[in-house]
Chains A and B, each alone.
Chain A
Amino acid sequence: MAEEMVEITKKRQKKSSEDYTYVGMVFHRLTRHKLAMAGAAMLIVILLFVFVGPLIWRADPNAQIEGIEGMFNAPSKAHPLGTDDYGRDVLARMFFGGRISLFIGFVSAISSTMIGAIVGLVAGYYGGWVDNLLMRFTDAMLSMPTFPLLIALSSVIGKGVSQIILVIIVFGWMQDARLVRGMALSLKEQEYVEAARAIGASANRIMWRHLFPNTLAVLIVSTTIGIGSAIIYEASISFLGFGVQAPFASWGNMLQNAQQFIWKAPRLIIYPGLAIFMTVLGFNFFGDGLRDAIDPKLKL
């Protein structure tokens, strides 16, 4: 009887470890990772806030209440988070600012990871002088003083959402390039790559069908954490005054704008600050959990 039970549990375990696809396996491990789940919960709250919130609270984020009595209103029924220095509804601005910040985060993190992946794959797969050239360029980019250059760049390309995204991409792909290059160097020695060469597969095919899918898990982790960094970056750029321009809101420029009124209305700093903090922490927790979940050497 007891033996039978052991057999049954064995069978079950076997099923759970072997019948899962890779994605299923990672998901399963992820659900057992407490920090990742905490991160996921934070992100769900943020996403609901930003995307479902405006459906419930329909206020115009750019509409101003004229006159002195419209400014710096404390939270009330009419304005749940109060109004800002222009007499605009802060809750509505938090919704739309969050969308912009998240949009910038997603687009720039995904694009810079893709660029990093391309540079890293080409450098790692071809090796030799191609590798040398690309990696020296990557090193050069890494050793550039970002903020002074940013200011210079902004004066050339102007200010706005797409400009910010461009800047974050230009200064954000290098770590991923190094990461992917390192992986490509070891992956290309695998026998399945040799097998692909034996059937006459082109370099392009090998890079995209054989190397890239094997770096994907790591790149997803990197992108996840990258979204958090990009949101911080957006806030920093806004702080320098090169961010998303008025009247449009982003969490970054709300924070920047609020610093002048830090004594008068500290809540104007707290709202976007807290939102950025939670989002970045959420992405970092989730990304770290994902990293652990795809690492087969780690027991979860």
Chain B
Amino acid sequence: METRLVEVQKLKKFFPIKGGVFSTTVASVKAVDEIDFFINQGETLGLVGESGSGKTTAGRTMLKLLQPTGGKIIYKGKDITKLTPNEMRPLRRNMQIMFQDPYGSLNPRMPVGDIIQEPLDVHAIGTRKERRQAVKAMMETVGLRPEFEKRYPHEFSGGQRQRIGVARALVLNPELLVLDEPISALDVSIQSQIINLLQEMQQRLNLTYLFIAHDLAVVRHMSDRVAVMYLGKIVETAENDELFDHPLHPYTQALLSAVPVPDPEVKRERIILQGDVPSPVNPPSGCHFRTRCPYAMPICKEQEPAMIEVSPDHTVACHLLTKK
């Protein structure tokens, strides 16, 4: 029986834009606009979408690193939306994040041993000696030489830095890990090493991943289920193979058509997306995708398409499907 580890309902995160003499809120960036998803214990949910679609914001808001503007976050059946930072602290042991930028995510003035040890210090786990021991063991686990604990981040390569990031995120033995484009800043030759490490860790520690990426091939490789995001909305969610073999939303189809198909027998029509992504400050009315959708209809402008379940565990928000 699968158990839901985390779930978000109608999650919203708007960033106010201040302006004018009295710096009042004149508008807001609708980075995440009422999204729903869940992640089961031990699985990987892939979250894909173009840059700026709100993936990072969704991940951070789910961890309450950003206070949601609306909606609910339910962790292990408990509503954590309204918890204060102090009430969140014990929960932070169980939910961690790994960042995209191997440079910005490590304090340049801290030796890596201290960086990896900090979570243990914050949660006052074990004696000083035990913590140091745990750090060394963790470094070994992620493929770093423990004797490098006194070195500073700038002495490591991009791939090694991401390993440091993994070590910091895992040293508390968490349940849930948000991976925010963990390989997109790395050389292609290094990417697979980090992916392998993440998969190995998931198996060993029974981790649950929210895997954020814009590279669809990697998402397909990593995920059990995939959610597609466009301009603050989730437009389609499905089990991995189902989504890649039978994409239903025009945006998903467009994204997939841009990926080279491994089997030359399968001919896929290439859909070129027209125009730019509209601003999340003033997203199009109705369906957010309508300005670039090749199938846009009058109703798409007037009414926001509802999320409907077309088959078990495959949901799509598009008027093309409700018409039938």
Contacts and interface: CB of A to CB of B under 8 A. Distances in A.
Interface residues of A, number: 22
Contacts of B110: 209-210, 213
Interface string A187-201: 000111011111111
Nearest to A19: B155
Interface residues on B, range: 20 to 34
Contact of A200 (B60, B93, B106): B93
A201 B124 CA distance: 11
Contacts of A22: 108-109, 152, 154
Contacts, number: 67
A143 interface: no
A205 B122 contact: yes
Contact of B119 (A19, A21, A199, A210): A199
Interface stretch (B95-103, B289-297, B301-309): B95-103
Nearest to A25: B154
A200 B63 CA distance: 11
Contacts of B107: 192, 196, 209-210, 213-214
A19 B152 CA distance: 10
A18 interface: yes
A198 B65 contact: yes
Given A191-B101, A192-B107, A200 B168 contact: no
A16 to B, nearest CB: 14
Contacts of B192: none
Interface in B80-97: 88-90, 92-93, 96-97
Contact of A199 (B105, B122, B152): B122
Nearest to B172: A199
Contacts of B90: 200
B298 interface: no
B123 interface: yes
A191 B104 contact: yes
B118 interface: yes
Contacts of B96: 198-199
Contact of A195 (B152, B154, B168): B168
Contact of A198 (B63, B104, B154): B63
Given A18-B155, A22-B152, A205-B122, A200 B105 contact: no
Nearest to A201: B122
A192 B92 contact: no
B105 A192 contact: yes
A197 B165 CA distance: 14
A205 B85 CA distance: 14
A192 B119 contact: no
Given A21-B152, A200-B122, A195 B92 contact: no
Given A200-B122, A209-B110, A190 B63 contact: no
Nearest to A197: B65
Interface string A114-150: 0000000000000000000000000000000000000
A194 B99 CA distance: 9
Interface core residue of B65, B89, B106, B109 (most chain A CB under 10 Å):
B109
Contacts of B155: 18-19
Contact of A192 (B60, B104, B122, B172): B104
Given A195-B99, A214-B109, 19 more contacts: A19-B155, A22-B108, A190-B104, A191-B99, A194-B65, A194-B97, A194-B99, A194-B105, A195-B97, A195-B105, A195-B168, A199-B123, A200-B93, A200-B119, A200-B122, A202-B122, A209-B118, A210-B107, A213-B107
Report, nearest first, the 6 A-B pairs whose CB atoms are least far apart. A200-B92, A213-B109, A191-B105, A199-B119, A200-B89, A191-B104
Interface of A: 18-19, 21-22, 190-192, 194-202, 205, 209-210, 213-214, 216
7 contacts: A22-B152, A191-B101, A195-B106, A197-B65, A201-B122, A213-B107, A214-B109
